[in-house]
Structure formats: structure tokens, C-alpha cells
């Protein structure tokens, strides 16, 4: 399986200093492995709420925690599970299509997502049993 077919962390280089602050840059097909067609962020998510609970047919994403901590649990259609802790704004998590994800936020965490496709309700797989069927021959 190629690297961009599995979830993995990407280190986005930051520029700056403790005295002046930092900047981190994301660029199409350079440190982001696709053309960015949508950007969104979530915030004020209570710690008791688990978000995600879906996969995508075609969408690839890079997800950042720009503030706070975010835990993402991923699962492939073949049942490969992996958990990622995002706690550094210069580290992004690449999640390719056909990976289920559950997301847990710390208090006042802010999630930033770079997406490879515009929003489409038809791209979502929200039923876990239907998702698992995609991995059967």
C-alpha cells in the first residue's frame, strides 16, 4: 500500500520564534498531497461529544489541531485501526478516502481541515456496517 493510501502524520515546517510567534504554510501538492478545494474548522465542541462517525467515498483530508488536543481514531475497510493525537499546530494528519474516523476534542480545541473535494452529502458513508461491507471481496 502506498504512503498516501494510509493515514499518517505530516510535519508542516514552521517559521518564526518564541519571541515573535510562528507561521505554518500548507500548499497544494507540496506538503498537502492534493489540491485543496475546501477549508473548514470546528470549535467550541464539548469534551463529552465524539464527532466524526463516518468515512468518505472520494474525499481526502489533512486535519490539524490549531489549538488544544484532538484524538482521531481511524479504521480502514479491512479493519486496520490506528489512533493519532494532534497536539501541535504544525502537525497535520492525512486521512485518505475510505477510512472511518471518530474524533475526540479537549476543552476549547480547534480543528482545521483541508479537504480535496467540495462538500457533497453523497460522499459520506455514515453507516458503519455499510462501510465494513466495502472491505469484503
Query: Of 54, 56, 57, 107, which is the active-site residue?
Result: 54
Known catalytic membership, residue 54: yes
DSSP the chain: --GGGS-EEEE--EEEETTTEEEE---BTTTBSS---EEEEE----TT-EEEEEEESS--EEEEEEES-EEEEEEETT--EEEEEE--TTEEEEE-TTEEEEEEE-TT-EEEEEESS---GGGEE--HHHHHHTT--
**Which residues participate in catalysis according to the annotation?**
54
Amino acid at each position: 500500500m502506498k504512503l498516501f493510501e494510509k493515514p499518517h502524520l505530516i510535519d508542516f515546517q514552521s517559521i518564526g520564534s518564541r519571541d515573535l510567534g510562528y507561521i505554518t504554510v500548507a500548499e497544494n501538492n507540496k506538503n498537502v498531497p492534493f489540491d485543496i478545494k475546501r477549508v473548514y474548522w470546528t470549535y467550541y465542541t464539548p469534551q463529552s461529544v465524539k464527532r466524526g462517525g463516518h468515512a468518505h467515498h472520494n474525499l481526502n483530508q489533512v486535519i490539524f489541531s490549531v489549538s488544544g488536543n484532538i484524538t482521531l481514531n481511524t479504521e480502514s475497510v479491512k479493519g486496520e485501526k490506528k489512533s493519532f493525537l494532534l497536539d501541535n499546530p504544525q502537525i497535520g494528519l492525512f486521512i485518505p478516502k475510505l477510512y472511518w474516523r471518530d474524533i475526540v476534542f479537549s476543552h476549547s480545541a480547534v480543528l482545521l481541515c483541508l479537504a480535496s473535494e467540495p462538500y457533497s452529502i453523497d460522499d459520506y458513508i455514515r453507516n458503519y456496517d455499510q462501510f465494513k461491507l466495502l472491505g469484503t471481496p
